Structure 1
C-alpha cells in the first residue's frame, strides 16, 4: 500500500466521486433486478413475538386470544407465540397491540446471510492467499498485531456454523451451540450445495486472521441456505452473552459477529441486542424497559462486567435501504459496509448514514469446511474483519464499554476514495489514534 500522507490533493475530487458512486450504485441496483425491499419484509406470519410488562400477564393473554406458547427467554417476559385455529395472524396481532399488558407485538422475521440473499457464491481459493491478500495491508494489520493479538478475548460467530477442525481454526474454538437443530454441535453440516454453505467457517477464518489469539464461540443460527429467523438469532445473542446462564461467571463473548440480516426491523431482537451489549435500561420504553424481575440476572451480569460489542453486516443491495440488525442503532453495535482494493466502496455494498464504517469485502480469501479455502465477496466478509479489530481493541483497552469500543473504531477511519463511507484502520483503532489520510488513485 502506498505511504499514507496527511495532505491528499485528491480530496478535492471526493464530492464529485461521491455523486458518481451514488449514481453507479443506484444503476447497479436497478440492473440487478427487483430489490429485496420491493417485495417487502420477509415475515413468518403465524409466529408472533411479544414482550409483556410482566411475565405473570401471559396466562391471561393466552386465555383471551387464539395463541399458544412456543418458547420463552428464560424468566424474561419475552415470548414466541403461535396463532392457533383459523384465526388470521394480522387480526390477532392488531388485537395484541391494544392490550395494556403488551409492550411489543410483532411477527417473527426471516434472517439470511447477505451473500445467500443475493446469490453471491464463493470461488476456490488458495491457502497462500489467506495471509498475503490485500485486506491485511489495507487495515495496517501487521502494525496493529504488534500491539495486540486478541489474547483473552472471546468472539462469537452467529452464522451457519463453523468447522473448527480446519487447520487455521484448530485450537482457537470454544464450545458452541446449534440453534437450528437444537444441539451443541455448531459445526457446519456436511452439505455442499447450500447457497450459504461454508459461510460461517469463512467468517470465523477472517476473525482468526485479524485476532489470531482470540477464541471463537460458534453459534449456528442459519441453515446451509443461509436462512434463519429473528427469534433464533435473539436466542443465540443471549447464549453468546452468557453461555452457562449464570450471571456470576465470566464466560460470555466480548464481541459478537452477525454476518446476516433482514429488511424487517424486529423490536424483540432489538431488546435482546441491548441486553447482550449491556445498554442501560430505559423504564417505560417498550423496547428498553427491564423493570420485570425476570431481567434480574441480566442486570447482575452487566453490573459486574462489560457487555459485548455487536458487529453486523450492512448488506449487499448497493443501496441506502436499511438492513437489520445492522441498522438497529443499538448501543455498542457497529454496522459494516465493504470496500475494494482501490479504497472505494464495493459496488454491491449498502451505504448511507446508518452504515458506520467499511472494511475490505471484495475478493476475500478465508477458510471453508473440510480444510478448504475459498474467495468470497460481501459485507459478510467485511464484518468479521471489524469484529477481529474489536477483539484487538478489547485486549488493548479492556476497561472500555462496548459503545466506547465502537467510538474508538469510528475515530480510527479515513474517508473512502469515493467518500461514501469511512474506512477502518485497525492499527489506529488499537493504538487509539486517528487514522492518516488515504492516498487515492
Structure 2
C-alpha cells in the first residue's frame, strides 16, 4: 500500500477577522457586545454584566462597551463561530425510515467494527465515567440516548435550555458516537454506559461564542467529567502579531491562545481529558508557516505577515487532537474496499506533532456522489434528532476517541487525564504503508488500551 500524500497544503478563504481567518471547520467573526477580559487584580465586576465568571483562572466574559471592558483589564472582543462541515455531509441522506423499533444498525457501523467495540464491551461499557459533549446540543428525547439533563447546561443566551438540539443536529450525532445505548435498537456508542452531559455552546441561530466554549470547558471540569469532547475549532489563528487586510496589526490571536491554554490546563489538572477534532481543512498543521492566502476574498493572494498559524482549540495546551480516517467502498464497492477504515480521510487536517491519534470519522468517494451508489455508507452512522443519519468529519473521529477514553477510565478508575491519554497513545500504531503525519501516535486501538 503506498504512502498517502494526497493533500494540498491549505485552501483557505475569507477575511481575517480579529486575528482569526475564516476557513474549514468554522468561520469566525468578532462580536461588538461581549469581551474576554484578562482581569486586573481586584477588578470590580459590579458595573458590568458578567456572562461567564472565570475569575478562578483570572478571566471573565462580560457584556459591556469596549471602554467598560478595558477598565477591568486587558480585553479583546469575543468571537462568534459557525460550523462548516465537509461538503459530503450536505449530500448525505438521513435514515428517515429507521426508527428505534427497527433491527439494530450495527452492521452499518463500520467505525465500531474497525475498533472492535464488541470485544471492548466485554471488559467495560464505560460504567462509572462521565463525558461532556460541548457542541450544538444533544437531543435528550432520542430513544437511543440517555442524557443527564440535570447536569446539562445551555451556555448560550438563546433561552432554549439544555438537552435540546437547538444549535443543529451535529451534537446529537456526536453524542451517539460516544454513548448511544446498547439497547438492541438503533446504533451503539463506543461507551454506552457513560454518563452523558450536554454542554450546548451553539445557539438556535447557529453561532457559538468563544467565551461560551471556555465556560463549557471549565464547567466540564467542575462537574468532574472524565472526558470533554469538542468537535469544533477555528483555523488559521496566527501565533504572533499579524498585519490584517486593512493594514492594522492584530495581537488577538495570541490572547485567545493564552486564555484557552489557561482554561484547558486547569481542566486537565482537575482530571478532565479534552478530546478535540483536528479540523477539516486538509491542512498540514505541522508546517503551516507564512503561506499566501486570499485574506479579503477579492481573488488575489495576500501574505499573512508572520505566518506560523495554529488551529484552536486542538493545538491548545493539553489537547488530545484527533484526525479522521475512513473506508472507501464499505458495503457498496463492487470489488470490496478500495481504502480500509484506517486510511486518512480526504479532508482531515494532519501533522505529526499536531495530531495525537487517528480515529474513524468517515471518508467519501466524491465521484460517486449523485450516482446510485451507496457512497454514504463510508460516512459515520449515528443518532440525529428523530432518527439516524450519516456524517463525516474529524467531528465524528473525536467522539470515537472520547468514548474510548471513557472505557479506559472505567477499567482504570485510578487513572488521571494524562494517564488515560498515555494508555490510548501506547496502544495505537501507525498502519503499515501510511504516513505518521496523519496519525500522531497511531490509529485508535480501544481493546489494547484497556
| Length-normalised TM-score, structure 1 | 0.70
Q: How many Å apart are 1:276 and its aligned residue?
A: 1.7
Q: Note if contact 2:149-2:162 (Cα within 8 Å) is conserved in structure 1.
A: no
Is 1:218 the equivalent of 2:198? Answer: yes
How has the CA–CA distance of structure 1 residues 236 and 205 changed in structure 2, closer, same or farther, with 3 Å as cutoff?
same
Look up the match of 2:281. Answer: 317
Deviations 1:297-339 (A, max 9, x none): xxxxx4xxxx111111111111124421111032xx3011100
Q: Tell me what 2:111 maps to.
A: 135
Provide closer, same or farther for how the CA distance between residues 311 and 225 of structure 1 changes in structure 2, counting only shifts above 3 A. farther
> Quick check: 1:200 aligned with 2:199?
no
Quick one: which of 133, 137, 144 aligns to 1:161?
137
**1:181 to partner: Cα distance:** 3.5
Q: Measure how far apart 1:187 and its partner are.
A: 2.7
Q: Is the 8 A contact 1:48 1:106 kept in 2?
A: yes
Report the equivalent of 2:43. 57
Alignment deviations for residues 253-281 of structure 1 (CA, whole Å, 9 cap, x no partner): 11111111123452223222222222xxx
SS of the aligned residue for 1:73 comes to strand
SS in 2 for 1:158: strand
CA distance in 2, matches of 1:166, 1:134: 22
Q: Counterpart of 1:176?
A: 152
Are the equivalent residues in 2 in contact too, given 1:114–1:380 (CA < 8 A)?
no
- CA drift of 1:157 comes to 0.7
Tell me if structure 1 keeps the 8 A contact 2:54–2:215: no
- Equivalent residue for 1:124? 94
Q: Aligned partners of 2:418 and 2:84: how far apart in 1?
A: 25
Q: Distance in 2 between matches of 1:197 and 1:39?
A: 20
Listed one character per residue, the Cα deviations across residues 122-148 of structure 1 (whole Å, up to 9, x for unaligned) are 521356674222111211222211111
Contact 2:13 2:22 in 1 (8 A): no
CA positional deviation for 1:83: 5.8
- In structure 2, relative to structure 1, the CA distance for the partners of 1:406 and 1:114 (3 Å cut) is farther
Change over 3 Å in CA distance of 1:113–1:397 after alignment to 2:
farther
Show the 5 A alignment for 1:317-356.
Answer: 317-321=281-285, 322-330=310-318, 333-341=319-327, 342=340, 343-352=342-351, 353-356=353-356
User: Matched residue of 1:415: which SS?
Assistant: coil
| C-alpha contact (below 8 Å) 1:160/1:222 kept by paired residues | yes
Q: How far apart in 1 are the matches of 2:114 and 2:124?
A: 17
SS of structure 2 residue aligned to 1:175: coil
2:40 and 2:175 mapped to 1: Cα distance? 38
Query: Given that residues 50 and 62 in structure 2 are in contact (C-alpha distance below 8 angstroms), is that contact kept between their aligned partners in structure 1?
Result: yes
Contact 1:366–1:375 at 8 Å: present in 2 too? yes
Partner of 1:397: 412
TM-score (norm 2): 0.69
Would you tell me which structure has more helix in proportion to its own residues?
Answer: 1
Mapped contact 2:231–2:398 kept (Cα < 8 A): yes
**CA distance change for structure 1 residues 345 and 173 in 2, over 3 Å: closer, same or farther?**
farther
> Which of 61, 64, 80 matches 1:110?
80
Q: Provide the C-alpha distance between the structure 1 equivalents of 2:195 and 2:112, rounded to a whole number of angstroms.
A: 20
For structure 1, which runs of at least 5 residues remain unmatched after alignment?
Answer: 1-9, 63-67, 191-195, 244-251, 279-301, 431-441
How many corresponding residue pairs? 348
The residue that corresponds to 2:124 in the other structure is 148
Tell me the distance in 2 between the aligned counterparts of 1:111 and 1:38.
Answer: 11
RMSD: 3.1
* 1:380 aligned partner: 395
Q: 1:53 to 1:35 in 2, by over 3 A?
A: closer
Contact 2:124 2:407 in 1 (8 A): yes
Report the secondary structure of 2:171's partner residue: helix
CA distance in 2, matches of 1:35, 1:315: 19
Alignment CA distance shift 1:351-1:162 (3 Å) = same
Structure 2 CA distance for partners of 1:239 and 1:398, relative to 1, 3 Å: same
Deviates more, 1:147-156 or 1:32-41: 32-41
